[in-house]
Structure 1
């Protein structure tokens, strides 16, 4: 099969022939139809996170395809099923986190396209327990980003505890952020979008943001405070620039909650005085559980979430990564096989 392989950190991926994997116990072999390209895949390829994958490996964790072979005890799946992969490729199921519905914190989890080969190839393996059942009638191109970007921002918005009718800021309108705007609106929140690019803010407006703020032209904290009369109840940061994380404190109302989805390198520039004085809660949120995935898929099935996508070929992956580095992608790029 053809696959895009990370052979060395920081180098172009090599598109080459590799062996089609054989499903083991509890696994299924999936023939890919599409795969979204996530910023995490770029981090994997550059190896710039503290916990690094081990080259050679195949990135990708937004794959959609058809089950073509089953390993022993691959329960719940059958040949012909349309399924998706996820960042949470599997978890142990037995630790305190798995037992208390926090499987995303499992210390023995396996991550798609990071610690196990992912969806940047014509075939992939999935763990039958964690494979995502794709709803009937779904567009394989459109639904692909829901497998990571969608479930990640959906869970992040839940973690803000913002309620219907309250203001929520989405900071960073990229692959995650443009979907977050849609989920926030569908969940009944009033949405403010913050970015540094006019085209990204235009996209946010298209997807339902009431207010858009260009952080290059004005102080986003002051603008949010003025527009809302005291700040937003929830702030979800999907941006990949460290400055956005510090700005989040100023955009939150007293007693508000800030949730971080983005994972840029660097430290969080926090004012301890302001955090304490305003009684703020700051949380990290990493993807979502299988239940979060099912809920995020249901929003898509009802037609209230529609990712902005463009399709590319697998052999264009290095060009896609370059465009991603320079902020030239509107919404999400999806590889179509």
Structure 2
């Protein structure tokens, strides 16, 4: 997959394309349907498939401080888009100047002159351009003059419930993992580098990896979870805490993971944790010993709920 950054990376070069545009936070099943159609039409026509996305949530620029937390950081989103078989990802800077670009100018500069679009695929709730005035009907109206057609993909529903990034965020904030798992088509996960913690886990008999996560990324509701952790090509069962360590005085919300049946140095390494089941709420215990007993029970239940990943062939 080819990655391009900014308007200055255009034009794309010779040859037509099939393009889709959106922020695509989470790359949920609805987004994946859009990508599949984009890739399908491109391959049928001998064209390149292109995803146009943005370096930040539009609301970060339009209403600073009121933007939602992200389901996927930029790198993670790019990996998921690549897995969909897309040929090119164009990441545009959604700054104040870009937010003022009229829909008609976006069509001309980006879709037509920049990407040589022959077909554009968008979701049913798609808007673009200054004040979000552009819609799929705008694309259909402007397309003939610029040499492309436009297609709208209906909103995906599961058991009558629309799949959306906002519904996934709401579920995670409530500690619900069932809907995010279904809507994403995978377990929700967060990633980060392992950093030095207070060392209390070692004293309690459960040495944990403390994750430094992207502050823009959404963490599930505070509590204890069963899941898995991935380090490079190793996949392990893990008991995961999202919380503030109330037994020892409150700290900023952060992620810690106890990797079952693992011995090794993790500091400085990249770690991804995957949430499978919510075990309990975060609690304040009267003593470290009481906390250790609760952690032992968390580990026992984690073993019951999460199967050990099969070793991959070398």
Relative to the length of structure 2, the TM-score reads 0.24
Q: Per chain length, whose mean CA-contact separation is higher, i.e. which structure has more relative contact order (CA < 8 Å, sep 6+)?
A: 1
